[in-house]
Amino acid sequence: MPVNPEYEGRQYPPTAPYSVGREKLREFAAAVGSTHPAHHDVAVARGAGYPDVVAPPTFAVVVAQRAEAQYIEDAAAGIDFSRVVHADERFTHHRPIVAGDELVTVLHVDSLRERAGITMVSTRCEIFAADADGNPGEPVSTVRSTLAVRGEDA
């Protein structure tokens, strides 16, 4: 099944809140080789002006991929994940992500472009601090991704 072009312009509902934990931030920092003590030590992070351990900038992808799963797992979208290559990822941070954050994400399928049997899918995940009701509040990060989806004949 090819990628469904009718999904271009689609916006998904906000995700359930994601609780950012200290250990998740420490594990992610270790996995990406980030040794800055503010990613690991609460006292250092607070001394630097953060309320808790601060995430490495690319941690936003963890939150964004939870939202992108709504699209990828939607059978009618026509995404065969075994044929997907991650082509690009860009981050715009409105404020740092810190331990204790509750984050909700709204996924946008911005564009679908087919060339030579490959569909380039551009998505945008708007990550917000959850308000008291679990709805999008203060903007935190924007993650833009491009996936290359190889067709069966490509």
Q: Which of 14-23, 44-53, 105-114, 144-153 has the lowest mean pLDDT?
A: 144-153
* Helix, strand or coil, per DSSP, at residue 19: strand
* Domain membership of residue 145 as a residue range: 5-150
pLDDT in tens, 25-71: 999 999 999 999 999 999 999 999 999 999 999 999 999 999 999 99
**Alpha-carbon dihedral 124, 127, 132, 137, rounded to 10 degrees:** -80
Question: Quick one: DSSP state of residue 128?
Answer: E
Q: What secondary structure does DSSP assign to 45-109, as a single string?
A: HHHTT-SSPBPPGGGHHHHHHHHHHHHHT-GGG---GGGEEEEEEEEEESS--BTT-EEEEEEEE
**CA–centroid distance for 25 within its chain:** 15
* Number of independent structural domains in the chain: 1
pLDDT at 153: 67
Specify the higher pLDDT residue, 87 or 48: 48
pLDDT in tens, 119-141: 999 999 999 999 999 999 999 99
Q: Residue 62 maps to which CATH number?
A: 3.10.129.10
Burial class (CB in 10 A: 0-12, 13-18, 19+), 88: exposed
CA distance 1 to 14: 27
**Full-model pTM:** 0.93
